[in-house]
Chain A
């Protein structure tokens, strides 16, 4: 089975999906969902206390996926750990066999449900990428030589539909300059805005995977549009979900996801599916978008 890095280097159209770790120690449901995706996706992202809500360690759960035969994308943020912890966790990730690392700043602690938490932010996403550049070259942050370097494949996130976009593009360019090789984007709902972003992103030698968010109701569409930065669900799509009613909303959401994939697949290098609690629908999206089985010719298991 091709790794994410090998598939990127081969120029395959990439499919990654997001899978939050369990809230607790019971892995049954997590393993079951991940099992359905074997051979159907290039990699599975494991979120790191996403939205500042505590879940099992993204490092530990990435290792679980690796043992199942998946290629995990280990997400690491600067919110919960200082530079010592970040460097040591990255060494730990390599030792465990994890290669893909998605570097993020992290949602602020007050976004979550343990608002009294002390935010760390010792390093930002650019600086975490720079740490990986160093560790891959066998050096720590203060230029000490490592006894064995890492071989990590670093990536980060991009926000194609944020307005104003320009300040974020400056940061995007910085991330590329410190070694980001792939980008997974915030959910795309406006192919024209995404195209504008891609015209700029295309001048850099990086792989871009467009975020695809599965909407399951008109209420959810309004919520993400109003409360999640960088997401803009057009009125036309909200209306479509509303018209479908409670019974038909999931079906309408699947239609929207497939429609979006069809509109953007020619512009970018892959897609990154976020199903938020409906991970069992991911194979359905892939099948309807003719991304099942993966066009890269990956084999089951």
Chain B
């Protein structure tokens, strides 16, 4: 359960969530706590067999006496992914062009 995103898009978030990545485990990828879709007993409305990851994070932080971490306001996620994707495409187009010119 407790693993971080291999290519973490919100680097320091898991330090404040007891090592559990909410982006991986929440369908809405929420970073500031649970939505209103928490079903009785702490399950997720979207995937009813799953625990709400934010309920798990709450329980883990509470047990560790670190609930204040959950109170931090998390900024909007830095989704560099799309900018990087554009760069990758630019690079590959450059290489294609160079190939054509040389060939």
Contacts and interface: CB of A to CB of B under 8 A. Distances in A.
Nearest to B41: A163
Contacts of B39: 229
Interface string A157-200: 10100111011101101100110000000100000000000000
Contacts of A178: 73
A299 interface: no
B83 to A, nearest CB: 14
What secondary structure prevails in chain B residues at the interface with A?
Answer: loop
Kindly name the residue among B38, B52, B77 whose own CB sees the greatest number of chain A CB atoms within 10 A. Answer: B38
A230 B73 contact: no
Given A121-B29, A167-B58, A229 B37 contact: yes
Contact of A124 (B31, B37, B71): B31
A45 to B, nearest CB: 15
A107 B37 contact: yes
A107 B27 CA distance: 11
A186 B31 CA distance: 22
Nearest to B52: A167
Interface in B15-59: 27-42, 45-46, 52, 54-55, 57-58
A241 B40 CA distance: 23
A108 interface: yes
How big is the B interface, by class?
20 to 34
B79 interface: yes
B71 A170 contact: yes
Contact of B45 (A108, A125, A126): A108
B32 A168 contact: no
A163 B71 contact: no
Given A119-B28, A163-B40, A170-B58, A141 B76 contact: yes
B75 interface: yes
A159 B45 contact: no
Contact of A168 (B27, B34, B40): B34
A16 interface: no
A204 B36 CA distance: 20
Contacts of A123: 76
Contacts of A159: 36, 38
B28 A121 contact: yes
A170 B76 contact: no
B71 A174 contact: yes
A217 to B, nearest CB: 22
Given A121-B29, A170-B67, A229 B38 contact: yes
Nearest to A105: B35
A79 B37 CA distance: 14
A170 B55 CA distance: 11
B38 A105 contact: no
Contact of B73 (A79, A110, A141, A177): A177
B75 A127 contact: yes
27 contacts: A83-B76, A105-B28, A105-B36, A106-B28, A108-B27, A108-B28, A125-B32, A125-B35, A126-B32, A126-B33, A126-B73, A127-B74, A130-B73, A162-B40, A163-B42, A166-B62, A167-B38, A167-B57, A168-B33, A168-B34, A168-B38, A170-B70, A174-B33, A174-B73, A178-B73, A229-B36, A230-B38
Interface of B: 27-42, 45-46, 52, 54-55, 57-58, 62, 67, 70-71, 73-77, 79
Interface of A: 79, 83, 105-108, 110-111, 119, 121-127, 130, 141, 157, 159, 162-164, 166-168, 170-171, 173-174, 177-178, 186, 229-230, 232
Given A159-B38, A164-B55, 12 more contacts: A83-B76, A105-B28, A108-B45, A123-B76, A124-B32, A125-B32, A126-B73, A167-B54, A170-B67, A171-B34, A174-B73, A230-B38
